Amino acid sequence: MAQNSQAPDTGALISLVEKILDSAIPPHLLQVEVGEFITVLGFLTNGNLEWLPDFSAEGSVTASGLALAPDMAATCADDTIRTVMFLRGTRTAIADKHSEVSDRPVRILYAGCGPYAILAVPLMLALSAEVASFTLVDIHPESVASAERIITALNLTDAVFDIKVMDATGYLADPDFPADIILTEVMQACLQTEPQVAVIRHLLSQFPSALLIPQEVRIDLVFADPAVEYFAGHRSAQPGSQDGRIYSGSVFVLNREAVFSWKNVSGSYLPGLSVEVNHFPDDRYQPMLFTDICVYQQYRIGAYESGLTCPRMLESAEKISPRVQLHFQYRLGDNPGIFIAAVE
């Protein structure tokens, strides 16, 4: 798409978005379109992704996990299947909510928008401000300033209720913007390191009836051969599939029911699930954690489809022997993650 003039070609951008949102097109075939869209956003921020003087290479460590630096956060947009699935899932969630509240826009609170607000800007282009209204939040002022530049350049300010620099774990409900949808992707595979759990837990306490995007993140314990996994790669992770993996069970689930069940849990740990290890295959097999994301309804991201769903080796695997029960927990705080809390 030619970008030599100052004014962006909004019509061409909308055509790209229509293609990206077209569920008939498999997401992995949309790398060029997503890349083209991001190039335009980069252009609109004046290519200003060199904002880093005050950041460590990775980002800012907060009390609830690592917040990726703006340039790192920008690279998330390139994770094509992730970006497409989040956009399609959010678009469907907005349509569902809109059918309930058709007399006003659906209110979407997007926490951790990053410098491109990539999970919102395409939807602002595709939907009118009467259908969807967004509040954007990011902890990094440079990301918020960049998102603001893009929104202004694309004439999308009508679709934005508010845009704030703040830690989303401290966001307080605005009486004029009771969110219908909480949209957040501040996570890594296995819900490690970044504050997805803390952010969702806090925001859902502010808006208990809001839909969550992603609707569910599930972490499963799987015995698999890392040599096959990491070198064969890019296979689907259906429990019980014929790929040599042995599925042991889910160890942690993040969805609205789980969050509500933690209501009275205080302190630094959340309960996970327990798994019995019945099979103990030969030494080639290692315990691994697989992440499965249900963005919304049929919009899912399975193993290897995104950086967010790359299987990881389970730490403390030495505790595992045949016929034990493993009890998992989730550690909150500045280095969040799943761990084996007890073995019986």
CB of 111 to ligand SAM, least distance (A): 6
Q: Does residue 182 touch ligand SAM according to CB under 6 A?
A: no
Residues recorded for the chain: 344
- C-alpha to C-alpha distance for 150 and 147, rounded to whole angstroms: 5
Count CB atoms within 10 A of the CB of residue 338. Answer: 24
Count CB atoms within 10 A of the CB of residue 75. Answer: 13
User: How many helices and strands (H and E) does the chain possess?
Assistant: 9, 15
Q: Does residue 13 touch ligand SAM according to CB under 6 A?
A: no
Tokens in use for 198? 């803390």
Q: Does residue 67 touch ligand SAM according to CB under 6 A?
A: yes
- H-type alpha helices, the chain: 10-20, 31-44, 70-76, 80-100, 121-126, 141-153, 196-206, 226-232, 256-261
Q: Does residue 217 touch ligand SAM according to CB under 6 A?
A: no
Please, which residue, 76 or 314, has the CB nearer to ligand SAM?
76
Nearest alpha carbon to residue 199 among 179, 185, 181, 217: 185
Please, which residue, 8 or 70, has the CB nearer to ligand SAM?
70
Question: Segment contacting ligand SAM (CB under 6 A): 46-54, 155-163, 165-173, 214-222?
Answer: 165-173
Binding pattern to ligand SAM, positions 124-143, x when CB under 6 A?
Answer: -------------xxxx--x
CA distances 343 to 76, 208, 276, 282, 327, Å, are 36, 34, 10, 21, 6
- C-alpha to C-alpha distance for 332 and 197, rounded to whole angstroms: 8
Contacting residue, 20, 40, 68, 301, with ligand SAM by CB under 6 A: 68
CB of 308 to ligand SAM, least distance (A): 9
Q: Does residue 185 touch ligand SAM according to CB under 6 A?
A: yes
CB of 197 to ligand SAM, least distance (A): 11
Number of residues engaging ligand SAM in binding (CB under 6 A): 25
Contacting residue, 118, 159, 213, 254, with ligand SAM by CB under 6 A: 118
Binding stretches for ligand SAM (CB under 6 A): 62, 64, 67-68, 73, 76-77, 111-114, 118-119, 137-140, 143, 167-169, 185-186, 195, 199
